């Protein structure tokens, strides 16, 4: 019986960053999850079966990408919201002099 493949450290890091981006490190965690996830998947693919952890790398990638999209949507929403308030204030004549 062949021993189980060793788990890629980059895959573990990707998953850890993916979880951290939702809890403590919003943008940096997302970028870390995405970068480590892609590096881990390449490392695992090129290892010839010596390394495992593709599922962890994929989960980290998914968490990172989803968080990045949500963060971008929130920023756009806030900009539109405050832009709308500014336009409304200008329309009713309550602008700063």
Report pTM: 0.81
pLDDT (tens digit per residue) in 25-72: 888 999 999 999 999 999 999 998 899 999 999 999 999 999 999 999
Reduce the DSSP state of residue 87 to 3 states and report it: helix
List, in sequence order, the alpha helices (H) in 24-53: 26-46
* Domain boundaries of the chain, sorted by first residue: 7-91
CA nearest neighbour of 45 among 4, 1, 2, 10: 10
- Per-residue pLDDT at 96: 56
Reduce the DSSP state of residue 19 to 3 states and report it: helix
- Per-residue pLDDT at 12: 96
- Per-residue pLDDT at 79: 83
Distance between first and last Cα of the chain: 80
- Which residues face 52 on adjacent strands? 7
């Amino acid at each position: 019986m062949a021993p189980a493949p060793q788990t890629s450290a980059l895959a573990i890091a990707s998953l850890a960053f993916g979880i951290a981006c939702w809890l403590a490190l919003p943008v940096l965690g997302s970028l870390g999850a995405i970068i480590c996830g892609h590096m881990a998947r390449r490392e695992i693919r090129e290892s010839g079966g010596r390394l495992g952890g593709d599922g962890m790398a994929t989960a980290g990638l998914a968490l990172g990408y989803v968080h990045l999209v949500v963060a971008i949507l929130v920023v756009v929403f806030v900009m539109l919201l405050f832009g709308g308030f500014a336009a409304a204030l200008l329309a009713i004549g309550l602008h700063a002099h």
